[in-house]
A and B are shown apart, each in its own frame.
Chain A
Amino acid sequence: MSSEALLAVEGVSKRFGGLVANQDVTLRLERGEIRGLIGPNGAGKTTLINLISGEESPSAGEVRLEGRSLLGIPPFQRARRGLLRTFQVPRLFGTMTVRENLLLPYLALGGRDRRAGRRRSDELLERSGLARLAEEPARHLSGGQQALLQLVAGFMCDGLRCYLLDEPFAGVNPLIKETMIDLIRDHNRRWSTVFLIVSHEMPVIRELCSRVTVLAAGRVLFEGTMEEVARSREVVDAYLGREWTP
């Protein structure tokens, strides 16, 4: 049992009509791991996140969390097992305040003690620099602040085991980006939370992730450390050469 990865994606495929968005993807994340998921636009990264979080169901293969299959388990139950995600285009509860956006996952995931929830939200508001916006409706935030709030909301969850982040840094200013990186790293150190981070920002991925998986045309093209990825002719040709120099 202990040899089982915390999150295991086993031979997962996803077809949309004739289009193959994911093909035979296998991915195993160990407890405490921060994994990068990179690949060109349309490679199938978001689709893979959707398959893991349950918004889409795979045409073949399966996803397991702590050794238990997630087949047929709806997203809200996956969340209750400690599997959360963010969306590429930030999704928030627009008419609710920033604080309510934080308290909501706390309540939804079984938090009963309102005072404890309040304390945690205070702490996260402080650390994320959103404190002075606490009573603002979320729809009034800037794009970067929304991305930050979306990320931070997941940290309100007590049993967060695995957090899937779909391009969390896109369109985010350097200051907020630093805050996000700190929060992710801190949560990972403290609770051994697994992160799977989709990003085009190689410096950030290099800073955060011990290993990266490269997806291209729906398949896993490569998996290894950032250095190995940079050395791989295949990957550089397929993708990185244009945007990134090691």
Chain B
Amino acid sequence: MRRQHLALAVVALAGAAAIPWGMDDYALGVVTIGFYYAVLAASWNLLAGYTGQFSLAQQGFAALGAYATGLSIRDLGVPIWLGILLAAAVSCGMGLALGLLTLRLRAIYLAITTWGFAETVHITLTAGYQVTRGELGLSVPTLLGNLDPLSYYYVFLGLLAVSLAVLYLVCHSRIGQFLRAIRDDELRAASLGIDTTRWKLFVFALSSLLTGLAGACYAHYVAVIGPDMADFSELAKIVVMVVIGGMGTFAGPVLGALLVQLLTSYLGQFGAWDNVLFALVVIVLMRTYREGLVALGRRLWRRLMAWMHPRVEVAARG
């Protein structure tokens, strides 16, 4: 199983590294942003999909990361790499704080509180315009000092690969089992010796850290950031990506993020209607097929295998 995963990862990475040779600058940009959202979606999936903590604050942490590096560079004059590190630390710390705050809250209360947190970030960034420049947007130096799309493609591919590697190690170790246990039945998990508080805080911290890191990198890519990074529609996008790809599956959020990003970029002519369309898809999927594309893929794979090796199927049935 593990070896299969490794092989799959190598193929995917090699494929992603080779793809840009046939792409124009617009397409490169689309996929680069797709990688950014894939990190956000995968981090949110760690919280909501694996651990059952339905937080609605992910977009807030992306914005925190972006502004943390932007402001520390402008006001403290730190170098870019330090700004990014600070962003990761700030998001991680705030994630931990939010985790502590919501520790005893369940489902709907957790959702409301985390949503309130993200809204607070949004409003603060807008209203504190003396510092953040509000809707005018904050200028941030670019990471590589240029705007070459190919370079940023690889930067974000690297960021995604590192994030996924970390998440893979967590989800496929005993910690991953503890998180699933907490999602399925927190009371039972605690009664069997799992320190549920510790692991929930860990998940909040890690998911915020990765998201803040991605937000910071995004800031150094787009060069001008605004409070709309913390807008609720950003979270809606993340949720749509995760649900379409497959909530609680490892590959789902990445597939969902890339697919949704491609669709919204190339079907842009539908304007606001694509949001309605995606909302409908989410509703249908949540009611019928909660494991999304990944489960669909698995099912098709099994069909294909059965079709190619009919004997095995017969044997399995017998």
Residues of A near any B CB (own CB < 8 A): 53, 55, 74-76, 79-80, 84-85, 87, 91-96, 100, 103-105, 107-110, 153, 157
* Contact of B271 with A by CB under 8 A: no
Residues of chain A within 8 A (CB-CB) of B174 are 107
Query: Given the complex of chains A and B, what is the CA–CA distance between A109 and B194 in angstroms?
Result: 8
Q: How far is the CB of B196 from chain A (nearest CB, A)?
A: 7
* Contact of B188 with A by CB under 8 A: yes
Which stretch, B26-34, B75-83, B109-117, B176-184, touches the partner chain A?
A: B176-184
B177 touches A76 (CB 8 A): no
* Contact of B195 with A by CB under 8 A: yes
CB-CB under 8 A for A96 and B180, given A76-B196, A105-B193, A107-B174? yes
* Contact of B147 with A by CB under 8 A: no
Query: Given the complex of chains A and B, what is the CA–CA distance between A19 and B191 in angstroms?
Result: 26
A76 touches B188 (CB 8 A): no
Choose one: A55, A109, A110, A153; the contact of B187 (CB below 8 Å): A55
* Contact of B190 with A by CB under 8 A: yes
A104 touches B185 (CB 8 A): no
* Contact of B308 with A by CB under 8 A: no
* Contact of B108 with A by CB under 8 A: no
Residues of chain A within 8 A (CB-CB) of B185 are 91-94
Q: How far is the CB of B170 from chain A (nearest CB, A)?
A: 14
* Chain A, residue nearest B186 (CB): A91
B192 touches A104 (CB 8 A): yes
Q: How far is the CB of B202 from chain A (nearest CB, A)?
A: 15
B180 touches A93 (CB 8 A): yes
CB-CB under 8 A for A92 and B188, given A104-B177, A107-B177, A108-B178? yes
Q: How far is the CB of B129 from chain A (nearest CB, A)?
A: 46
CB-CB under 8 A for A84 and B192, given A104-B177, A108-B178? yes
Q: How far is the CB of B47 from chain A (nearest CB, A)?
A: 17
Majority SS at the chain B contact face: helix
A93 touches B181 (CB 8 A): yes
- Tell me which of B178, B181, B184, B193 has the highest count of chain A C-beta atoms within 10 A of its own C-beta: B193
Residues of chain B within 8 A (CB-CB) of A95 are 180, 183-184
- Tell me which of B177, B183, B192, B195 has the highest count of chain A C-beta atoms within 10 A of its own C-beta: B192
CB-CB under 8 A for A87 and B192, given A96-B181, A104-B181? no
B191 touches A96 (CB 8 A): no
Residues of B near any A CB (own CB < 8 A): 174, 177-178, 180-181, 183-185, 187-196
User: Given contacts A76-B196, A104-B192, A108-B181, could you give 10 more A-B pairs where the C-beta distance is less than 8 Å?
Assistant: A76-B190, A76-B191, A93-B184, A95-B180, A96-B181, A100-B177, A107-B174, A108-B192, A109-B192, A153-B192
Residues of chain B within 8 A (CB-CB) of A84 are 191-192
Q: How far is the CB of B291 from chain A (nearest CB, A)?
A: 10
B191 touches A79 (CB 8 A): yes
Residues of chain B within 8 A (CB-CB) of A91 are 185, 187-188, 191
Give 11 pairs: A residue, B residue, CB < 8 Å, sorted on A. Answer: A53-B191, A79-B193, A80-B193, A91-B185, A91-B188, A92-B188, A93-B185, A93-B189, A95-B180, A108-B178, A108-B194
Query: Given the complex of chains A and B, what is the CA–CA distance between A80 and B193 in angstroms?
Result: 6
Query: Given the complex of chains A and B, what is the CA–CA distance between A219 and B23 in angstroms?
Result: 78
Residues of chain A within 8 A (CB-CB) of B180 are 93, 95-96
* Chain B, residue nearest A139 (CB): B184
Query: Given the complex of chains A and B, what is the CA–CA distance between A87 and B191 in angstroms?
Result: 10
Residues of chain A within 8 A (CB-CB) of B177 are 96, 100, 103-104, 107
Query: Given the complex of chains A and B, what is the CA–CA distance between A105 and B174 in angstroms?
Result: 11
What are the 7 A-B residue pairs with the smallest beta carbon separation, nearest first? A79-B193, A93-B184, A91-B188, A108-B193, A105-B192, A109-B193, A107-B174
Residues of chain B within 8 A (CB-CB) of A76 are 190-196
A94 touches B184 (CB 8 A): yes
Q: How far is the CB of B289 from chain A (nearest CB, A)?
A: 15
Q: How far is the CB of B191 from chain A (nearest CB, A)?
A: 5
Residues of chain A within 8 A (CB-CB) of B196 are 76
Choose one: B178, B181, B191; the contact of A55 (CB below 8 Å): B191
* Chain A, residue nearest B174 (CB): A107
A93 touches B188 (CB 8 A): yes
* Chain A, residue nearest B193 (CB): A79
Query: Given the complex of chains A and B, what is the CA–CA distance between A76 and B192 in angstroms?
Result: 6
Q: How far is the CB of B273 from chain A (nearest CB, A)?
A: 35
* Chain A, residue nearest B183 (CB): A95
Residues of chain A within 8 A (CB-CB) of B184 are 92-96
Query: Given the complex of chains A and B, what is the CA–CA distance between A110 and B195 in angstroms?
Result: 12
Query: Given the complex of chains A and B, what is the CA–CA distance between A92 and B180 in angstroms?
Result: 12
* Chain A, residue nearest B175 (CB): A107
Residues of chain B within 8 A (CB-CB) of A93 are 180-181, 184-185, 188-189
Residues of chain B within 8 A (CB-CB) of A110 are 193
Residues of chain A within 8 A (CB-CB) of B191 are 53, 55, 75-76, 79, 84-85, 87, 91
